[in-house]
């Protein structure tokens, strides 16, 4: 119960108890019973009620959904198409939980948050974002998604913030949209779903976008997508294309290419967020750094892989509710560089909340992972 003390204070202060019949009586009863004075100090931070900000939470727009379903009917045998192809076969009125929950922002989603004591979701356009479309379509669907995201955040400023989609297919025009997303729409960062047509951000043609993110002082969340057409074949068996193997293989490859390609020598303040406890990279860092130093070309980088990862990367817990991995990742990266995430609606909210409520870490670390780090990384105002 330690982990949820203080929440009732937070909810009360924000007027939700009086205002919202959506809040579940179960959570409220639990939290009222658990309300106690906070006894833990949080380093130099003021003593604050615990707040749960989930940082990798997916949505879709009708335009993205229609565009992807259209592509999935084109005969393109691309690994990312599997899910969308199934949704394209839905008959009118036929329910599909994931399809419906991705398109929903204000009904089931907010109730699910209330029922589980989740204060805020950091929303991002679901994988693979706009990256399978031709450039004009990608630009248009990203702009529309960013407008819709800003509108829902304006209606629920205490419940949602969001990461802007952008079109790497048009790297010269995209910095304008990135600027608009932060300075006009007041979004909190950027979402990229790994490769774009088999190309990665170490390619210099994409660097105007990295320059923009660094100058805007907002992170790029590199979310997984399935391996590209060029490397798809061995992932077609045993359901390996997505969360079992393809996602983290692909995304770890992407981040490693960026590190070794000198991206962070050029953009030393660029912040990258990786989900799924860092897509395996925290585990491999020693070996990557060691082999790079002994057999690679160390003189080609100012900062080596280990130091770069510690300086430029933050990871989230999405989809890995494993306390042993959490302990390791905090040991490797420090508690300031790990954020909590659910991976809604692909993962279920309650086990992710229970995991972080009860993880064997200090209360100071729990506050960092649940909200303090997210407030810092995504510029979310404290409440
Ligand atoms: Mn996800």
Query: In tens digits, what is the pLDDT along the chain, a chain of 383 residues?
Result: 333 333 333 433 333 333 333 334 334 333 433 333 333 444 455 578 999 999 999 999 999 999 999 999 998 999 999 879 888 888 888 889 999 999 999 999 999 999 999 999 999 999 999 999 999 999 999 999 999 999 999 999 999 999 999 999 998 889 999 999 999 999 999 999 999 999 999 999 999 999 999 999 999 999 999 999 999 999 999 999 999 999 999 999 999 999 999 999 999 999 999 999 999 999 999 999 999 999 877 788 999 999 999 999 999 999 999 999 999 999 999 999 999 999 999 999 999 999 999 999 999 999 999 999 999 999 999 98
Tokens 């079109």 identify what position?
167
Determine the distance separating the centroid of ligand 1 and the alpha carbon of 145, expressed in angstroms: 17
Give dist(CA 368, CA 91) in Å, integer: 45
Give dist(CA 121, CA 149) in Å, integer: 12
Output the furthest CA–CA distance in the chain (Å, rounded).
Answer: 64
Question: Among residues 134, 265, 343, 354, which one is catalytic?
Answer: 343
Determine the distance separating the centroid of ligand 1 and the alpha carbon of 298, expressed in angstroms: 34
Determine the distance separating the centroid of ligand 1 and the alpha carbon of 127, expressed in angstroms: 7
pLDDT for the residue 7 = 38
Give dist(CA 310, CA 307) in Å, integer: 5
Give dist(CA 69, CA 89) in Å, integer: 9
Closest of 11, 53, 50, 52 to residue 29, by C-alpha? 11
Peptide bond into 128 cis (omega under 30): yes
Determine the distance separating the centroid of ligand 1 and the alpha carbon of 348, expressed in angstroms: 12
pLDDT for the residue 303 = 95
Query: How many other CB atoms sit within 10 Å of the CB of residue 244?
Result: 12
Active site residue 289: no
Determine the distance separating the centroid of ligand 1 and the alpha carbon of 271, expressed in angstroms: 18
Determine the distance separating the centroid of ligand 1 and the alpha carbon of 202, expressed in angstroms: 22
User: Which token pair is 364?
Assistant: 């100071």
User: Which token pair is 186?
Assistant: 């007041």
Determine the distance separating the centroid of ligand 1 and the alpha carbon of 328, expressed in angstroms: 21
Query: How many Å is the Cα radius of gyration of the chain?
Result: 20
Tokens 């490797």 identify what position?
332
User: Which token pair is 214?
Assistant: 């660094």
Determine the distance separating the centroid of ligand 1 and the alpha carbon of 339, expressed in angstroms: 14
Task: Give the start-end residues of each E strand in 224-372.
Answer: 272-274, 313-316, 338-339
Q: What is the DSSP letter of 228?
A: P
pLDDT for the residue 201 = 98
Residues with CB under 5 A from ligand 1 (ion): 56, 343
pLDDT for the residue 267 = 98
Tokens 């879709």 identify what position?
60
Tokens 């937070």 identify what position?
10
Q: Note whether 150 and 162 are within 8 A (CB).
A: yes
- Residue 163 bridge partners (DSSP): 189
To the nearest 10°, report the CA torsion of 360, 255, 198, 211.
Answer: 120
pLDDT for the residue 95 = 87
Determine the distance separating the centroid of ligand 1 and the alpha carbon of 164, expressed in angstroms: 15
- What are residue 381's phi and psi, to 5 degrees? -60, 140
Give dist(CA 157, CA 175) in Å, integer: 25
Determine the distance separating the centroid of ligand 1 and the alpha carbon of 161, expressed in angstroms: 16
Determine the distance separating the centroid of ligand 1 and the alpha carbon of 228, expressed in angstroms: 18
> Residue 33: CA atoms inside 13 Å, Cβ hemisphere, count?
7
pLDDT for the residue 300 = 87
């Amino acid at each position: 119960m330690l982990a949820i003390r203080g929440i009732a204070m937070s909810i009360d202060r924000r007027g939700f108890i009086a205002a919202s019949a959506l809040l579940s009586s179960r959570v409220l009863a639990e939290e009222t019973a658990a309300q106690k004075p906070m006894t833990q100090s949080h380093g130099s931070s003021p003593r604050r009620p615990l707040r749960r900000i989930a940082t990798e939470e997916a949505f879709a727009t009708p335009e993205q959904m229609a565009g992807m379903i259209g592509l999935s009917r084109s005969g393109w045998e691309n690994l990312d198409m599997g899910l969308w192809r199934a949704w394209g076969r839905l008959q009118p009125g036929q329910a599909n939980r994931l399809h419906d929950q991705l398109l929903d922002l204000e009904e089931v989603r907010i109730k699910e948050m209330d029922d589980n004591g989740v204060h805020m979701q950091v929303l991002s356009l679901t994988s693979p974002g706009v990256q399978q479309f031709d450039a004009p379509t990608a630009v248009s669907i990203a702009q529309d998604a960013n407008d819709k995201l800003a509108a829902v955040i304006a209606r629920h400023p205490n419940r949602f913030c969001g990461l802007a989609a952008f079109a790497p297919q048009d790297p010269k025009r995209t910095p304008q949209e990135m600027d608009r997303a932060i300075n006009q729409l007041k979004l909190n960062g950027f979402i990229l779903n790994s490769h774009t047509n088999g190309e990665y951000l170490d390619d210099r043609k994409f660097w105007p976008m990295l320059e923009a993110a660094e100058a805007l002082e907002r992170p790029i969340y590199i979310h997984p997508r399935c391996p590209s057409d060029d490397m798809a074949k061995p992932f077609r068996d045993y359901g390996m294309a997505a969360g079992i193997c393809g996602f983290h293989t692909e995304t770890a490859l992407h981040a490693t290419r960026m590190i070794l390609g000198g991206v962070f020598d050029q953009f030393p303040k660029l912040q990258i967020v990786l989900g799924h406890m860092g897509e395996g990279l925290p585990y491999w860092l020693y070996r990557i750094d060691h082999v790079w130093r002994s057999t690679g070309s160390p003189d080609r980088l100012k900062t080596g892989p280990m130091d770069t990862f510690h300086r430029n990367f933050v990871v989230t817990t999405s989809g890995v509710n494993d306390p042993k991995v959490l302990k390791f990742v905090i040991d490797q990266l420090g508690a300031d560089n790990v954020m909590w995430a659910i991976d809604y609606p692909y993962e279920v909210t309650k086990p992710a909340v229970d995991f972080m409520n009860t993880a064997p870490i200090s209360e100071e670390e729990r506050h960092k992972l649940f909200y303090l780090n997210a407030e810092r990384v995504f510029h979310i105002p404290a409440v």
